[in-house]
């Protein structure tokens, strides 16, 4: 400014913004810069976090499965019509609003669970001078209880409830029912007291009663309820049989719900099993001791489905038993024997009551030391075992939806608990170990998640699925590895550069080919094709390499001039028509081979020598999935071989090694980590591949390594079952676990491969 | 010989053979799909011949030869067919005889020895029907309102005209049903929801009566319009039932085919080359633009193409900004070190995590957790029917976006790394801030890399099926995800998808043999889509490489 004055020039209006504006703009620009930096950090970091969330979320869905049960006391009240020395039966209804109590003196009380208020009481019609001698209850979901009387009769009552809706308000009301009528029905024609009793409702709604009289006779009575179509009246038809008597007095008696078997236990701990499928010729099939020393059996109950029973003893021991088909029996015979399947954690006091759950294979147990336990059959888990009372407990009732429990102690006080026990079926052992399932001969690995039956025992062994996954991946790698690695070495080292420019992109484009297309071709085209041309599989396997050698030998015998006309690195191109020709020839020959050597049908021949052949088998999957992983392995392995520093190979060649020697002794050794990582990544891909295995394996969860049988993989299992399962059920979470296992396997495999590859890159740059 | 082995030559040939096998499989697979897929539309000649049954009866057979195979005789015997004991091999042909309504099955295997001479009668007619699959036979007469309108020479041209008319009527009925009635139904549903929402909001008194009266009036209006449309539809239906084709099967049985049941009739044997090409083009057009029929085993795949494209587009919109942002963060802003290296390897490795795992995550997290929450907050009147708490278009897109995120990140990062340092430093030296350098110099230069990443992502997403089975794809969607109803793009709707269509039609359909050609054609469509996407990605990448090689020199 001052300079302008001095020289006498007029100050020129600057076109640049003023210093103020500049400063403001600069501030704005820096502000924008900072804002952008934070936006990018937030966005980019957010994406990274979101990706990490996948793992966290999968994990969070799986964790609840391995939590035990939690039990929380809510309230306490005096039991209605309680008496000293009572031995009541407790039950709850589905909405957890009212409870039911059968007392040993023949009163059925309905009471509110929140305060113990009595709603309704029914007194059993016990004739004068007759007393109640025994009580029995059937499967919990039948809600059926029977009282055995001193005159050889019994009263059967169902503690039903009904729902009523008023203005959208739901109320649960007592609705007791007497399926055989309110008056006692005759069990023992001789009129002796019923010392122990069992009751069960079968699938048709008929009632079975079994009883031991005070003089030791064992009786089985079947009441069939026939409803007339015309009048709507029902009539009860009674049939009675005498069953071979046990050696002594029985402490507990149980019937299966198909009314085919009768289980009893004596005071001395002898378990007994009668086959009464044909009641006229019932027989005592098996005896087994459930105790040691002077331990006594105090309780015996059947779990849901009445396949297995749980025995509780005076020492607080619990064991599960069921009937196993006798190995000595010939096929078709229905001869069973008792088998002790598993034991549970021991209770501190003598077991006083076992109460099975309504829809699962679990049960609640109370003992005379005030302990309450929750156990589960299939997984052999004890989910909860704690002392909840200072006084001995004598009864326990469990909610049909397994979220509430009531217990009654010897003073007649009922305590109610809230229960969280959603996933007792799983444990590490049940998922990964052999489990002895109901109705099976031995402990096994089985995956069978659902069935139509109510009393179905879900079988969640991950072993068949994991083995299936590995089997599929193994055969795929068996097919893909030699082809991809051979191809990669050839392309990178021997192939003419011009050809390489076409070959590499061609194979790499294959990587993008949707696997659903490979799967559909495998299932609909390849599987039937292979089934029709089994011999060709073997002949091609042998024939192709032989033909390559033959061509190679023939080529080496050609006159020099002809040989030199073919530039080096074109071997593969020459072989293309050879392969086409050989494969075509061997395939057309295949039916003839079957006729000549296998009596016209190789498949039949396989069956005859004891090999199962499924149309959709591991061979088909191996080829199709191998096809899917060839490009992956090829591409990475080719890169690894191609980037082996030139001076190494040239040095080797200069020392007089042949190209083949250079490849095997120098190139392969240097590139082996790269090839290894290629194989790992290919393996990772094969493990997680879903559509091909879904479409080409038949999806039966069998456990073997036969190449001609199918399998079910973890991924296909998720695709098949996840859309159908109930949200947050155990099955749902196990499928999430399968997802997590896949995630962890592939992530680990890929990470190892990536680390190896980066190491290799560093080594190359230092060479 | 030993010398020769020692030279290593045979081994080179062997590994060369390994490559050749891979190549032949690739080529063979593409050829197989192309031949079967394209072949499906070609008007194949209609064969007329006689077949002798085991009982010695001779029957007329008319149909299209599908394929032939030669088997050991024993295999056929096992299947229960009687073959003379001295015969070792048998050749048999699968002929599509159609007429499923008459024969019960439309594909029959015939032994070569049982077939008589093959003829190709000019008058043989192939009629594509809306129900019961194709009909093969001979046209006899055209009936119009119970009167014979054409026969003999006249029949063919008259038939063509009548079919065109019937098709147009069918089109109009279809439009009525799809657009008009569909629109009314969705408005009725909206009314129901409004009523429910009144209940939920506890509206009472004056406001409630007013609202209810309004609802009633609108309901009445809709009911009236519905009646009108129904009447129009009935009239059109009656119109379309006017014409009937009387045809005769090969066995001489007379069949009446209402023209509203005919999609197209052709005399394959009488066609010239140009007719054939015209027919071919027409068939392909119809396949790409038509709706599926007969439990997806016939008709077109338009909804599947539309669903795939819509889903992929939404996915692109979701994945691009986040992928690019993450890449810029990783490359430009994050502090380089061991932890970043770990993060980078993890992100890259996510590309190798099985897609079904993403599906599991999408179902649990997006659908049940996010979707369930959205329903509770914004759509209480629709509960218990879920809106977003069930698999649908948006969740499918989001899951695929997550799945393809690593692809975009990797590709963008590569692009960013490839920008020469000189360019960056030049910009900074001129006084630009870091952000300005990025936004105005680096990002535009690496845009093609981002493009490549996006295209690769799209190609991967278009072919991915497994996760979609969990998060939003169905075998038959009642309506397209984009239509004329407000809000036009229905993110909560379920969609059809090309890949899933292949799985569903090929493996879940009752008539696999009939569906097979359609599966090949669908597969061909998908393969072409993906090959084109991939090849363009490769082309862009190559051009990019050339460009920077020139610039950095």
Cβ-based contacts of B400 with chain A (< 8 Å):
none
Task: Please compute the mean of the pLDDT values over residues B260-282 and round it to a whole number.
Answer: 89
- Scanning the structure block, which residue is given the tokens 């326990």? A396
Do residues B350 and B365 touch, judged by C-beta distance below 8 A? no
Q: Cβ atoms within 10 A of the Cβ of B265, count?
A: 21
How many interface pairs between A and B have CB atoms less than 8 angstroms apart?
345
Q: How confident is the model at residue B553 (pLDDT cuts 50, 70, 90)?
A: very low
Contact yes or no for A483 and B88 at CB 8 A: no
Task: Please compute the mean of the pLDDT values over residues B406-428 and round it to a whole number.
Answer: 89
A348 pLDDT exceeds 70? yes
Q: Which helix (H) or strand (E) holds B176?
A: none
Q: Which of A489, A592, A684 minimises the CB distance to B15?
A: A489
Q: Cβ atoms within 10 A of the Cβ of A496, count?
A: 15
Q: At what angle do helices B338-350 and A19-62 cross, to 10 degrees?
A: 60
B430 pLDDT exceeds 80? yes
Task: Please compute the mean of the pLDDT values over residues A718-735 and round it to a whole number.
Answer: 90
Query: Lowest-pLDDT range, A305-319, A360-374, B206-220?
Result: B206-220
The alpha carbon dihedral of A428, A429, A432, A437 has a sign of: negative
B7 touches chain A (CB under 8 A): yes
A26-53 burial: b if 16+ Cβ within 10 Å, else e: eeeeeeebeebbeebeebbbebbeebee
- A362: alpha, beta or left, given left = phi > 0 and alpha = psi -120 to 50? beta
Task: Please compute the mean of the pLDDT values over residues A542-552 and round it to a whole number.
Answer: 92
Contact yes or no for B353 and A688 at CB 8 A: yes
Q: How confident is the model at residue A483 (pLDDT cuts 50, 70, 90)?
A: very high
Fold of A70-433: Methylamine Dehydrogenase; Chain H (2.130.10)
Contact yes or no for A487 and B19 at CB 8 A: yes
Question: Cα B461 vs. chain centroid, distance in angstroms?
Answer: 14
Residues of B numbered 183-212 whose beta carbons fall under 8 angstroms of chain A's beta carbons: which are they? none
Contact yes or no for B360 and A482 at CB 8 A: no
Predicted local distance difference test score (pLDDT) of residue A691: 92
Do residues A169 and A153 touch, judged by C-beta distance below 8 A? no
* Selection from B61-65, B193-197, B333-337 with the highest mean pLDDT: B61-65
Give chain B's mean pLDDT. 87
- Cα–Cα distance for residue pair A9/A1, rounded to 1 Å: 10
Predicted local distance difference test score (pLDDT) of residue A3: 47
A2 pLDDT exceeds 50? no
A649 pLDDT exceeds 50? yes
A266 pLDDT exceeds 50? yes
A572-598 burial: b if 16+ Cβ within 10 Å, else e: bbbbbebbeebbeebbebbbebbbeeb
Output the six-digit token pair for A46.
Answer: 């957010």
Residues of B numbered 487-526 whose beta carbons fall under 8 angstroms of chain A's beta carbons: which are they? 499-500, 502-503, 506-507, 512, 516, 519, 523, 526
Task: Please compute the mean of the pLDDT values over residues A648-661 and round it to a whole number.
Answer: 91
Cβ-based contacts of A493 with chain B (< 8 Å):
none
B80 touches chain A (CB under 8 A): no
CB neighbours of B49 closer than 8 A, spacing ≥ 6? B60, B61, B115, B116, B117, B118, B119
Do residues A87 and A435 touch, judged by C-beta distance below 8 A? no
The model's pTM: 0.89
Q: What angle do CA A178, A182, A185 make, to 5 degrees?
A: 100
Question: Cα B8 vs. chain centroid, distance in angstroms?
Answer: 50
Smallest CA–CA distance, residue A576 to chain B, in Å, is 6
Predicted local distance difference test score (pLDDT) of residue A331: 56
Predicted local distance difference test score (pLDDT) of residue A330: 62
Q: Which of A506, A555, A595 minimises the CB distance to B89?
A: A595
Tell me if residue A354 falls in helix, strand or coil: strand
Do residues B98 and B131 touch, judged by C-beta distance below 8 A? no
Q: How confident is the model at residue A392 (pLDDT cuts 50, 70, 90)?
A: very high
Domain spans, chain A: 70-433, 473-538+583-766
CB neighbours of A716 closer than 8 A, spacing ≥ 6? A690, A693, A694, A697, A699
- Cα–Cα distance for residue pair A623/A628, rounded to 1 Å: 9
Task: Please compute the mean of the pLDDT values over residues A623-643 and round it to a whole number.
Answer: 91
- Predicted ipTM > 0.95: no
Smallest CA–CA distance, residue A577 to chain B, in Å, is 9
Q: What pLDDT, in 10s, does the model give residues A489-498?
A: 999 988 888 8
Task: Please compute the mean of the pLDDT values over residues A317-329 and round it to a whole number.
Answer: 83
CA-based nearest residue in chain B for residue A54: B361
Q: How confident is the model at residue A9 (pLDDT cuts 50, 70, 90)?
A: low
Best of B94, B357, B458 to disrupt the A interface by mutation (most A CBs within 10 Å)? Answer: B357
Predicted local distance difference test score (pLDDT) of residue A332: 59
- Scanning the structure block, which residue is given the tokens 């096992």? B78
Do residues A381 and A375 touch, judged by C-beta distance below 8 A? yes
Cβ-based contacts of A735 with chain B (< 8 Å):
360
Predicted local distance difference test score (pLDDT) of residue B364: 92
Does 1.10.3720.10 match the CATH number of domain A473-538+583-766?
yes
- Cα–Cα distance for residue pair B53/B30, rounded to 1 Å: 39
Predicted local distance difference test score (pLDDT) of residue A333: 67
Predicted local distance difference test score (pLDDT) of residue A607: 86
Do residues A40 and B333 touch, judged by C-beta distance below 8 A? yes
Q: What pLDDT, in 10s, does the model give residues B534-544?
A: 888 878 877 77
- Scanning the structure block, which residue is given the tokens 């001789």? A190
Task: Please compute the mean of the pLDDT values over residues A573-581 and round it to a whole number.
Answer: 90
Give chain A's mean pLDDT. 88
Predicted local distance difference test score (pLDDT) of residue B240: 83
Cβ-based contacts of A626 with chain B (< 8 Å):
none
Contact yes or no for B353 and A494 at CB 8 A: no
Predicted local distance difference test score (pLDDT) of residue A328: 66
Do residues A666 and A648 touch, judged by C-beta distance below 8 A? yes
Q: What pLDDT, in 10s, does the model give residues A359-382?
A: 889 999 999 999 999 999 888 899
Do residues A61 and A743 touch, judged by C-beta distance below 8 A? no
Residue, of A318 and B342, whose pLDDT is higher: A318
Output the six-digit token pair for A104.
Answer: 């040993």
Q: Which helix (H) or strand (E) holds B284?
A: helix B273-289
% of residues, chain B, pLDDT over 70: 99
Tell which residue, B444, B438, B439, B446, has the closest CA to residue B419: B446
Best of B296, B340, B344, B360 to disrupt the A interface by mutation (most A CBs within 10 Å)? Answer: B360
Predicted local distance difference test score (pLDDT) of residue B548: 64
Q: How confident is the model at residue B51 (pLDDT cuts 50, 70, 90)?
A: confident
According to DSSP, the β-strands at A89-92 and A98-102 are antiparallel
CA-based nearest residue in chain A for residue B506: A520
Cβ-based contacts of B304 with chain A (< 8 Å):
none
Fold match flag (A70-433 vs A473-538+583-766): no
Task: Please compute the mean of the pLDDT values over residues B328-332 and round it to a whole number.
Answer: 89
Q: What pLDDT, in 10s, does the model give residues A73-98?
A: 999 999 887 777 788 999 999 898 99
Do residues A636 and A674 touch, judged by C-beta distance below 8 A? yes
Length of chain B: 553
Task: Please compute the mean of the pLDDT values over residues A534-544 and round it to a whole number.
Answer: 92
B453 pLDDT exceeds 50? yes
- Cα–Cα distance for residue pair B208/B214, rounded to 1 Å: 10
CA-based nearest residue in chain B for residue A488: B19
* Selection from A757-766, B417-426, B542-551 with the highest mean pLDDT: B417-426
Q: How confident is the model at residue A329 (pLDDT cuts 50, 70, 90)?
A: low
Tell which residue, A428, A308, A323, A324, has the closest CA to residue A379: A428
Do residues A348 and A371 touch, judged by C-beta distance below 8 A? yes
Predicted local distance difference test score (pLDDT) of residue A4: 45
Predicted local distance difference test score (pLDDT) of residue B186: 83
CA-based nearest residue in chain A for residue B342: A751
Predicted local distance difference test score (pLDDT) of residue A148: 92
Cβ-based contacts of B396 with chain A (< 8 Å):
none
């Amino acid at each position: 400014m001052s300079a302008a004055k001095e020289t006498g020039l007029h100050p020129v209006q600057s076109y640049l913004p003023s210093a103020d504006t500049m400063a403001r703009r600069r501030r704005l620009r820096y502000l924008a810069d900072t804002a952008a930096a934070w936006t990018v950090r937030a966005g980019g970091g957010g994406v990274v976090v979101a990706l990490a969330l996948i793992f966290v979320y999968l994990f969070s869905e799986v964790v609840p499965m391995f939590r035990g049960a939690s039990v929380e006391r809510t309230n306490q009240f005096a039991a209605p019509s309680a008496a000293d020395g009572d031995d009541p039966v407790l039950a709850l209804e589905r909405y957890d609003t009212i409870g039911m109590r059968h007392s040993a003196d023949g009163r059925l009380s309905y009471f509110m669970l929140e305060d113990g208020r009595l709603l309704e009481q029914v007194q059993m019609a016990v004739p004068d001078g007759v007393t109640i001698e025994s009580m029995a209850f059937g499967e919990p979901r039948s809600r059926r209880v029977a009282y055995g009387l001193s005159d050889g009769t019994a009263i059967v009552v169902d503690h039903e409830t009904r729902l009523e809706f008023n203005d959208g308000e739901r109320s649960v009301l007592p609705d007791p029912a007497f399926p055989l009528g309110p008056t006692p029905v005759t069990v023992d024609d001789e009129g002796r007291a019923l010392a122990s009793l069992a009751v069960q409702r079968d699938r048709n709604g008929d009632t079975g009663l079994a009883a031991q009289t005070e003089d030791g006779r064992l009786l089985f009575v079947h009441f069939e309820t026939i409803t007339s179509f015309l009048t709507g009246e029902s009539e009860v038809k009674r049939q009675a049989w005498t069953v071979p008597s046990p050696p002594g007095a029985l402490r507990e008696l149980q019937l299966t719900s198909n009314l085919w078997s009768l289980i009893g236990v004596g005071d001395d701990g002898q378990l007994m099993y009668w086959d009464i499928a044909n009641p006229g010729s019932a027989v005592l099939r098996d005896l087994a001791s459930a105790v040691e020393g002077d331990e006594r059996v105090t309780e015996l109950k059947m779990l849901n489905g009445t396949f297995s029973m749980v025995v509780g003893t005076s020492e607080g021991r619990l064991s599960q038993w069921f009937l196993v088909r006798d190995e000595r029996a010939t096929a078709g015979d229905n001869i069973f024997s008792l088998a002790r399947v598993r034991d549970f954690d021991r209770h501190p006091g003598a077991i006083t009551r076992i109460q099975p759950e309504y829809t699962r294979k679990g049960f609640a147990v109370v003992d005379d030391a005030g302990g309450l336990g929750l156990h589960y059959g299939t997984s052999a888990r004890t989910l909860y075992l704690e002392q909840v009372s200072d006084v001995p407990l004598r009864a326990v009732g469990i909610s049909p939806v397994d979220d509430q429990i009531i217990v009654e102690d010897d003073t007649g006080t009922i305590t109610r608990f809230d229960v969280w026990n959603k996933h007792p079926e799983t444990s590490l052992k049940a998922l990964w170990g052999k489990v002895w399932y109901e109705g099976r001969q031995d402990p096994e690995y089985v995956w069978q998640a659902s069935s139509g039956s109510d009393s179905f025992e879900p079988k969640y062994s991950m072993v068949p699925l994991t083995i299936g996954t590995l089997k599929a991946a193994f055969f795929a790698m068996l097919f893909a590895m030699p082809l991809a690695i051979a191809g990669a070495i050839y392309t990178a080292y021997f192939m003419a550069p011009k050809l390489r420019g076409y070959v590499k992109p061609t194979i790499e484009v294959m990587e993008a080919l949707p696997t659903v297309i490979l799967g559909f071709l495998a299932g609909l085209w390849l599987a039937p094709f292979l089934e029709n041309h089994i011999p060709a599989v073997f002949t091609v396997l042998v024939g192709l390499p032989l033909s390559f050698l033959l061509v190679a030998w023939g080529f080496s015998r050609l006159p020099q001039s002809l040989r030199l006309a073919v530039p080096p690195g074109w071997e593969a191109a020459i072989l293309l028509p050879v392969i086409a020709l050989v494969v075509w020839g061997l395939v057309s020959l295949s039916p003839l081979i079957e006729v000549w050597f296998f009596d016209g049908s190789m498949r039949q021949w396989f069956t005859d020598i004891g090999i199962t052949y499924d149309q959709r088998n591991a061979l088909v999957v191996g080829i199709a999935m191998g096809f899917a992983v060839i490009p992956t392995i090829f591409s990475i392995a080719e890169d690894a071989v191609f980037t082996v520093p030139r001076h190494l190979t040239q040095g080797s060649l200069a020392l007089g090694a042949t190209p083949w020697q250079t490849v095997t002794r120098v190139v392969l050794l240097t590139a082996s980590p790269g090839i290894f990582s290629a194989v790992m990544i290919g393996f990772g891909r094969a493990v997680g591949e879903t559509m091909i295995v879904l479409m080409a394996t038949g999806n039966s969860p069998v456990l073997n390594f036969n190449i001609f049988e199918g399998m079910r993989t973890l991924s296909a299992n998720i695709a098949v079952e996840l859309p159908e399962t109930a949200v947050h059920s155990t099955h749902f979470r196990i499928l999430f676990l399968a997802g997590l296992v896949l995630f962890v396997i592939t992530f680990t495999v890929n990470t190892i491969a990536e680390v190896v590859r980066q190491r290799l890159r560093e080594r190359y740059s230092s060479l | 010989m030993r010398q020769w082995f020692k030279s290593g030559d045979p081994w080179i040939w062997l590994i060369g053979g390994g490559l050749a096998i891979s190549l032949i499989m690739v080529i063979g697979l593409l050829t197989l799909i192309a031949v079967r897929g394209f072949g499906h539309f070609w008007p194949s000649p209609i064969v007329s011949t006689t077949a002798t049954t085991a009982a010695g009866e001779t029957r007329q057979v008319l149909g299209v030869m599908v394929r032939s195979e030669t088997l050991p005789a024993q295999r056929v015997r096992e299947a229960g067919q009687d073959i003379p004991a001295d015969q070792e091999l048998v050749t048999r042909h699968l002929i599509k005889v159609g007429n499923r309504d008459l024969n019960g099955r439309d594909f029959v295997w015939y032994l070569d020895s049982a077939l008589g001479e093959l003829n190709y009668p000019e008058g043989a007619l192939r009629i594509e029907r809306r129900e019961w699959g194709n009909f093969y036979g001979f046209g006899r007469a055209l009936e119009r309102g119970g009167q014979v309108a054409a026969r003999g020479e006249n029949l063919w041209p008259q038939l063509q005209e009548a079919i065109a008319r019937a098709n147009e009527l069918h089109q109009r009925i279809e439009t009525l049903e799809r657009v008009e009635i569909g629109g009314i139904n969705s408005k009725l549903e909206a009314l129901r929801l409004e009523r429910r929402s009144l209940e939920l909001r506890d509206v009472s008194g004056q406001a409630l009566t007013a609202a209810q009266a309004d609802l009633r009036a609108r309901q009445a209006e809709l009911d009236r319009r519905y009646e009108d449309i129904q009447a129009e539809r009935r009239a059109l239906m009656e119109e379309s039932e006017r014409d009937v084709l009387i045809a005769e099967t090969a066995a001489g049985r007379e069949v009446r085919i209402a023209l509203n049941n005919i999609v197209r009739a052709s005399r394959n044997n009488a066609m010239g080359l140009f007719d054939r090409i015209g027919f071919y083009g027409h068939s392909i057009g119809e396949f790409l633009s038509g709706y599926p029929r007969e439990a997806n085993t016939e008709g077109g795949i338009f909804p599947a193409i539309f669903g795939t494209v819509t889903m992929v587009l939404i996915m692109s919109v979701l994945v691009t900004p986040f992928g690019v942002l993450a890449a810029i963060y990783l490359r430009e802003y994050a502090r380089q070190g061991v932890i970043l290296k770990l993060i980078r390897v993890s992100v890259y490795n996510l590309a190798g995590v099985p897609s079904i795992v993403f599906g599991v995550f999408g179902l649990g997290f997006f659908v049940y957790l996010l979707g369930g929450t959205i329903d509770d907050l914004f759509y209480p009147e629709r509960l218990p029917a879920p809106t977003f708490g069930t698999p649908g278009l948006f969740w499918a897109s989001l899951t695929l976006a997550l799945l393809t995120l690593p692809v975009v990140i990797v590709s963008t990062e590569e692009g960013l790394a490839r920008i020469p340092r000189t360019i960056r430093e030049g910009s900074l030296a001129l006084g630009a801030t870091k952000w300005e350098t990025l936004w105005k110099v680096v990002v535009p230069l690496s845009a093609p890399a981002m493009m490549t990443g996006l295209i690769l992502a799209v190609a991967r997403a278009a072919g991915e099926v497994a996760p979609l089975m969990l998060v939003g794809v169905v075998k038959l969607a009642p309506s397209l995800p984009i239509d004329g109803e407000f809000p036009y793009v229905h993110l909560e709707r379920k969609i059809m998808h090309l890949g899933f269509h292949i799985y569903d039609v090929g493996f879940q359909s009752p008539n696999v043999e009939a569906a097979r050609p359609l599966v090949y054609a669908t597969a061909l469509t998908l393969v072409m889509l993906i090959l084109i996407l991939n090849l363009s990605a490769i082309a862009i990448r190559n051009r990019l490489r050339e460009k920077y090689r020139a610039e950095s020199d």
